[in-house]
Amino acid sequence: MKPNLMKAKIQAGQPAIGVSVMFPSPQIVEMIGALGFDWVLIDCEHGTIDVESVELLVMAAEVSGITPIVRPPSRDATDILRVLDRGAMGVQVPHVNTAEDARAVVEAVKYHPLGKRGLAASTRAGRYGIGLTAAEYVAQVNRETLVCVQLEEGEALRNINEILKVEGIDVFFVGPSDLAQSMGFPGRSDTPIVQQMIRATLDAIVAAGKVPGSTGPDADIADYLKRGCRYVYTHVPRLLAAGAAAFRAAL
């Protein structure tokens, strides 16, 4: 596993800006790299990306010099393992609501002694066992893999203080869409009370000395960055819509 440049950037106190992809296009991932983004979120929870496609998209990210992070379909350890073994340099795990959930995520990502991930050094993540000992591979994975947990339900926010105490988590991501739904405002993450809750949670994460993350409209992301977010991303359709609007306006 190569050094995780995006994780290093976050740990150095700098923001890492990414783009979420929900459909299996290596070419789009290459474009994201060429456009100067730091990382790509390969989203297997939503959209049409399967496990085989994950591997191709990870390859495209590596060639393009950006960090591939995958959102697995669920927080199940098997789902996490399958995307990591294909070379993902981190996971953004959905629906983490308790400290127990968070600890289980860390255990699924890390090898012993930090976790309980099943070890197969002959996978793509381990360079198929070529030119790298299993012990070297384990050390690299435990050091370089990024762990991000999604806090996107009212239950998660009620348990925020305990979740923030869990060791081994690099990013605590506040998910606007599902949070709004859990608060009774489906499809309306711009509702003032929802936005207040998002910002209060981001502030609590920063106050605990941890790294927050989130997404949303451009203006919201700009505000989140001012609040200390270092893990943010936009979406391919949003980039296309903005580019199309600018093109039509120019004509």
pLDDT(1) > 80 = no
What's the mean pLDDT in 172-188?
Answer: 90
Which CATH number is 15-245 given? 3.20.20.60
Comparing 66 with 188, the larger pLDDT belongs to: 66
Q: Which residues are catalytic?
A: 46
Candidate from 2-6, 83-87, 93-97 with smallest mean pLDDT: 2-6
pLDDT score recorded for residue 58: 97
pTM of the entire predicted model? 0.94
Q: For residues 216 and 210, what is the distance between their CA atoms, to the nearest angstrom?
A: 20
What's the mean pLDDT in 137-143?
Answer: 94
Cβ density class 215-237: b for 16+ within 10 Å, e for less = bbeeebbebbeeebbbbbbbebe
* Domain positions in the chain: 15-245
Q: Minimal CA–CA distance to 70: which of 57, 127, 78?
A: 57
Instruction: List the structure tokens of 62.
Output: 């590596």
| DSSP SS3 for 76 | coil
Instruction: List the structure tokens of 32.
Output: 């994201």
pLDDT score recorded for residue 233: 97
Percentage with pLDDT > 70 across the chain = 100
| DSSP SS3 for 12 | coil
Given a contact cutoff of 8 angstroms between Cβ atoms, the answer to whether 44 and 70 are in contact is: yes
Q: Minimal CA–CA distance to 87: which of 112, 107, 63?
A: 63
Instruction: Tell me the pLDDT tens digit for each residue of 201-233.
Output: 999 999 999 999 999 989 999 999 999 999 999
